[in-house]
A and B are shown apart, each in its own frame.
Chain A
Amino acid sequence: MPKTWIYGDNVDTDVIIPARYLMTSDPAELAAHALEDLDPSFAKTVQPGDVVVAGANFGCGSSREHAPIALKGAGVSAVVATSFARIFFRNAINTGLAIATSPEAVAATDPGDEIEVDVAAGVVRNVTKGSEFQAEPLPDFILGIVRAGGLVDWVRQRVGAS
């Protein structure tokens, strides 16, 4: 069963991936140090499909795209937060890390709960409790980037079309 990792407010990009590891942007190398200054057990035991649930202002701080890449590289299938810092939000959309903004889902999550996220539908499911939460809807424009598979492919389509 996928594990849910629960953290508090203001999880900044320095703790998601410290600058001492930014000499690479390789997902596997970054994943080995994901969240290590906040929770040394995370990178050692995280499994593909695990979900991160956190409080307000997730991903605040630096613009380093290495942060969503590290989480995605670690196998994190989605991050559900009360709110996201704006650069991290863009970076997650652009690099294809699933994110959902839902204070209600965060408040209702207990350690051990299994969480599923459907980004396109904007739904967060607490499988353990059998509850479902509507996430803050993404504007159509942003959903277009999600559907294209990220910003690289979205731009490819535009460059190819012109």
Chain B
Amino acid sequence: MAATITEKILAAHAGVRSVRPGEIVSCKVDLAMANDVTAPPAIRAFEKMGAGRVWDTSKVALVASHFAPAKDIASAKLMTSMRRFAQAQDIEHFFDVGRGGIEHILLPEEALVLPGDVIIGADSHSCTYGALGCFSTGVGSTDLAAVLALGEIWLRVPETMKIVYSGKPGPWVMGKDMILSVIAAIGDDGARYMAMEHTGDTLQHLSMDGRLTLTNMAIEAGAKSGIIPPDNVTLRYVSERRAETGRDRDFTVFESDVDADYAEVLEVDVDTMEPMIARPSLPSKSIPVSQVERRRVDQVFLGSCTNARIEDLRIAARVLGDERIADGVRLMVIPATQRVWMQANAEGLLDKFAAAGATVSTPTCGACLGAHMGVLGPGEVCVSTSNRNYVGRMGDPTAQVYLANPAVAMATAVAGEIVHPSEIRGEVGVLIA
């Protein structure tokens, strides 16, 4: 029977020959992840479940990311609870402050997520890992606790929406613009409960960094997961990550059958695409940057699990050139992981940002969710490279957040108002083919 990549991965993990959309199956989990916000409630639920020990200490990752480094006493206690659990349960992959960073950029770097896996994360952006050709989805703390106890999870097999991108990205167009275009087209729940399978010739122009941005925002379309069938770019990346980390767990490459059933097929022309910007207060309110009102901004945030990889920082630095950040604008630069931070430092990018007047921080989710390191005050306007611009997301409920790619964000920081990067740095292609 013809099947999609998602159906094949779920069938293999449920121990059955095939599965159909709508069916509920129990799947074995290859990696379970939680962070400092979601792990403490998961730990309490796990203890109430009475299992005693986690099912496999090598298949659990705990990451201090959201309030890291601890922003107050209460968040310090959350991290202490996670630290003690990791120690008591002998969790193999515990990433404390200064040892990791934002989980969705960290786990692929660490070769802990691989093609063909089923990954369950207690964080909604766990859909990010699908860029490696695995099934990956976000759950709440109690679901995660059940995985810690049983090593498996019930899942409703999702219908798949296939998205076919064609053409070559033009000047300053990135993975972010592709996914914002899709969300603008289908709406904030346009892919609700579905798997979004990203395909098409455009993907050959996207590095793994760009692809991880594409799958990261599946949740902003309401999807259960995002996935990109593995190709040479994926396999080269996985091979590099395995070599650097010395992790050599086996993996399986799955692909969709040509005659697989799709609930919907969406075609997206990338040749004519411009950098996009989502206006307050929904990701679906995305329009081309050239059509947006040129508002003055108070803050620009370059960070988050969506756009804080090395490619994002390089592109922002290219837009910045030798300019300074505009007077009256605060630029927060938050590299996603220790590894990204050190790479950016070695390339002189952090110096360049700091010299231009930016605040450069240690890795944290912080500003994206209005936790710390760049919380917005009443009425402030911010352009952010993150994934959500909901009311109150980054601070005061009267603050207004626009979502854009790193080139648009940096151009805005330099101009002091929302502008197209071409106005600052000309028509330059940004993608690494």
Chain B residues whose C-beta falls within 8 Å of the C-beta of A91 in the assembled complex: 139-140, 142-143
- A141-B140 contact in complex given A14-B393, A60-B188, A61-B390, C-beta closer than 8 Å: no
Task: Mark the stretch among B44-52, B264-272, B325-333, B340-348 that contacts chain A.
Answer: B44-52
* B24 and A141 within 8 A (CB): yes
Residue B141 CB within 8 A of the other chain: yes
Task: Point out the residues of chain A lying under 8 angstroms from B67, CB to CB.
Answer: 23
Which of A71-79, A127-135, A153-161 forms contacts with chain B?
A153-161
Shortest Cβ distance from B366 into A: residue: A19
With a cutoff of 8 Å between Cβ atoms, the chain B residues found around residue A151 in the complex are 45, 142-143, 145-146
Question: Which stretch from B70-78, B128-136, B290-298, B423-431 is at the chain A interface?
Answer: B70-78
Q: Does B122 contact A (CB under 8 A)?
A: yes
> By the criterion CB–CB under 8 Å, are B145 and A152 in contact?
yes
Q: Place the interface of chain B in its size category.
A: 35 or more
User: Which segment of B35-43, B166-174, B255-263 sits at the interface?
Assistant: B35-43
Contact A87 B75 (CB under 8 A): no
Judged by a CB distance under 8 angstroms, whether A108 is at the interface is no
A94 touches B49 (CB 8 A): no
Which one, A37, A57, A65, A154, contacts B140 given CB within 8 A?
Answer: A65
**Chain B min CB distance to A12 (Å):** 5
Q: How far is the CA of A66 from the CA of B44 in the complex (A)?
A: 13
| B-contact bits for A9-25, CB 8 A (1 contact / 0 none) | 01010110011101111
Within 8 Å of chain B (Cβ to Cβ): is A139?
Answer: yes
Q: Mark A90-112, 1 if CB is under 8 A from B, else 0.
A: 11001100000000000000000
A63 in complex: contacting residue of B38, B224, B282, B391, CB < 8 Å: B38
Q: Is B11 on the interface with A (CB-CB < 8 A)?
A: no
Supposing A12-B390, A15-B392 touch, asked if A57 and B138 sit within 8 A by C-beta, the answer is: no
User: At the interface, yes or no: A62 with Cβ under 8 Å from chain B?
Assistant: yes
Q: Which of A22, A87, A139 contacts B139 (CB 8 A)?
A: A87
Q: Which B residues fall within an 8 A CB radius of A?
A: 24, 37-38, 40-41, 44-45, 48-51, 66-67, 72, 74-75, 77-78, 122-124, 126, 138-143, 145-146, 149-150, 154, 156, 188-189, 192-193, 219, 222, 224, 282, 369-371, 388, 390-393, 397
